[in-house]
Chain A
Amino acid sequence: MSESAPSTEDTRRLAQEARARVRFEEEALELSDQVYRVARRLVGTREEAEDLVKQTYERAFRAWRQFTPGTNLRAWLLRILTNLNIDRGRRQQRTPQTTSLDTEAGDYFLYNKLESQVPEENPDEERVLERLSQDSVVEALADVPHNFRDVVVLVDIGEFSYADAAQILDVPIGTVMSRLHRGRRILKKNLADSAVVT
């Protein structure tokens, strides 16, 4: 600590860093709605989601220098969030039994079930989907086992690419694709089960 007054160079560097930090924080905060929307479906309760998002921003603001400007900030935040969620050991989360699936019925199950209830002529498909209440959709998603649900939430709700989802979850892209496929099937099966049959 020999120098008493900071040099002009230091002052300028500090000012630059302060500006970069402010910019980072503002950009991260602008994404908070999207981060929350994904977080809310990764965990069981609103309180957990709020805790998780708050912890994510605390950690992100501490570790902001590790973010590479120009890369996907939303994916970076979700990576932190996912790791925190794993650290929490997914406490209090629903861990339903893995749904056994008739693989043959598979993908077309929901389509067939809903479609069969609609007159062949001029089917009003929007109405078909409206048979599913909002609560039943939330429930059907929550009942997807978490490994599969995480991928479905990131890709279908968060609209992340396979590559981003793979990076966020730290798994190969092939794993993302197979889990996504299976997760969507389970989701459809759950939706079909709760679709109102008239």
Chain B
Amino acid sequence: MQPYLDGSLSDAEVAEAQKHLELCSWCAKRYHFEERLRRYVRVAVSEPMSPELKTKLAALRTPLT
């Protein structure tokens, strides 16, 4: 299930996984839970960069002469 969620399966494997998910409600439920959990974690731990750092990084650019 993890490689399927990570998009690292071949086309044939993806097709096989999808077929299984259509037939197996236990796996389908788990799949949706995993998917949501992953998205939830990603959003929860996302912290935007401070504008100060952005300014500092922009200042590192080579000056145009």
Contact = CB atoms under 8 A, between A and B. Distances in A.
Contacts of A108: 30
B contact residues, range: 20 to 34
A179 interface: no
A13 interface: no
B6 A155 contact: yes
Nearest to B1: A107
A61 B62 contact: yes
Nearest to B46: A37
Interface centre among A25, A36, A53, A181 (most CB of B within 10 A): A36
Per DSSP, chain B at the interface is helix
A137 B62 contact: no
A137 B2 contact: no
A147 to B, nearest CB: 18
A32 B45 contact: no
Nearest to A136: B44
Interface centre among B8, B53, B58 (most CB of A within 10 A): B53
B44 A137 contact: yes
Per DSSP, chain A at the interface is helix
Nearest to B41: A137
Interface of B: 2-3, 6-8, 30, 32-33, 36-38, 40-42, 44-50, 53-54, 56-58, 60-62, 64
Interface of A: 21-22, 25, 29, 32-33, 36-37, 40-41, 46, 50, 53-54, 57-58, 61, 108, 110-111, 115, 125-126, 129, 132, 134, 137-138, 141, 155-157, 159, 161-162, 177, 180-181, 184, 187-188
7 contacts: A33-B49, A50-B50, A54-B56, A57-B60, A61-B61, A129-B36, A184-B2
